[in-house]
Amino acid sequence: QKEVEQDPGPLSVPEGAIVSLNCTYSNSAFQYFMWYRQYSRKGPELLMYTYSSGNKEDGRFTAQVDKSSKYISLFIRDSQPSDSATYLCAMSSNTGNQFYFGTGTSLTVIP
Amino acid sequence: DAGITQSPRHKVTETGTPVTLRCHQTENHRYMYWYRQDPGHGLRLIHYSYGVKDTDKGEVSDGYSVSRSKTEDFLLTLESATSSQTSVYFCAISSTNTIYFGEGSWLTVV
């Protein structure tokens, strides 16, 4: 069993829709949770970073962590064609220097 | 901008030839990483470094070696390139429990 599971999609939504991206994990030691956006032929770009449980909001993006369920989510409100990319989740424990990644979800926002 | 530069950005090489990819950081971070990314597999760790001359293997280290003689530079070497090493390679640095990536090096082995 992989440490981090992420549905690869692809996910296709109309412009303006609310998008929900999710990852599950198995290691209860994970404390730091990240979401990356990766455009085609580019490197992953850090989008959201949260510590432990709870929500964090940044503009149209909300990251949510439920440690009791070992489940994290990224919500995108009012999705735009420029949000079309692959989204990767990542996490690490308190040791802080080993990172575990989902395989990424491909998102297309249709104008 | 995470201050990571990878070179070369694109390379085509022949099977059996040695290849070195370079990663340069301007942030003075202790931890540096090399990943490869392939469809269906996501990001897989090849090697990482936790200081000058301190390196360790990741999950897909066979066929790869690394060196770090200066804090700012981390080299990945394919001693004898094979077609299975055709991939995109990302260098990364970690800081305060998160990780930042370079723009990638696209390698094709023919």
Sheet containing strand A4-6, strands side by side: A4-6, A19-25, A71-76, A61-66, A54-58
Per-residue pLDDT of chain A in tens (111 residues, 90 and over written 9)? 789 999 888 999 999 999 999 999 999 999 999 999 999 999 999 999 999 888 999 999 999 999 999 999 999 999 999 999 999 999 998 776 899 999 999 999 999
State yes or no: cis peptide before A8, omega within 30 of 0.
no
**Does residue A40 sit at the B interface (CB-CB below 8 Å)?**
no
| Record: contact A34-B98, CB cut-off 8 A | yes
Q: Which of B43, B90, B98 sits opposite A49 (nearest CB)?
A: B98
A100 vs B: CB within 8 A: no
Report the first-to-last Cα separation within chain A, whole angstroms: 38
Q: Are B6 and B53 in contact (CB under 8 A)?
A: no
- Beta pairing, strands B73-78 & A32-38: unpaired
Chain B contact probe: residue of A94, A101, A106 with most B CBs at under 10 A: A101
Mind listing the pLDDT tens digit for each residue in B40-50?
889 999 999 99
Chain-chain contact of B104 with A41 (C-beta, under 8 angstroms): yes
Could you say which residues from 29 to 88 on chain B have a Cβ atom under 8 Å away from some Cβ of chain A? 31, 40-43, 48, 50
* pLDDT tens figures, A24-38: 999 999 999 999 999
CB of A96 within 8 Å of a chain B CB? The answer is yes
Of A43, A49, A102, the CB nearest to B90: A43
When CB atoms are compared, the residue of A44, A45, A97 closest to B31 is: A97
What pLDDT does A19 receive?
Answer: 97
**Does the structure show a pLDDT above 90 at B85?**
yes
How far is it, in rounded angstroms, from Cα B81 to Cα A44?
25
pLDDT at residue A95, as a whole number = 77
Whether the pLDDT of residue B1 is over 70: the answer is no
Query: Do B94 and A96 count as a contact with CB atoms less than 8 A apart?
Result: yes
Measured between beta carbons, which residues in chain A are less than 8 angstroms from residue B41? Answer: 103
Per the document, the length of chain A is: 111
Partners of residue B106 in chain A, C-beta under 8 Å? 41
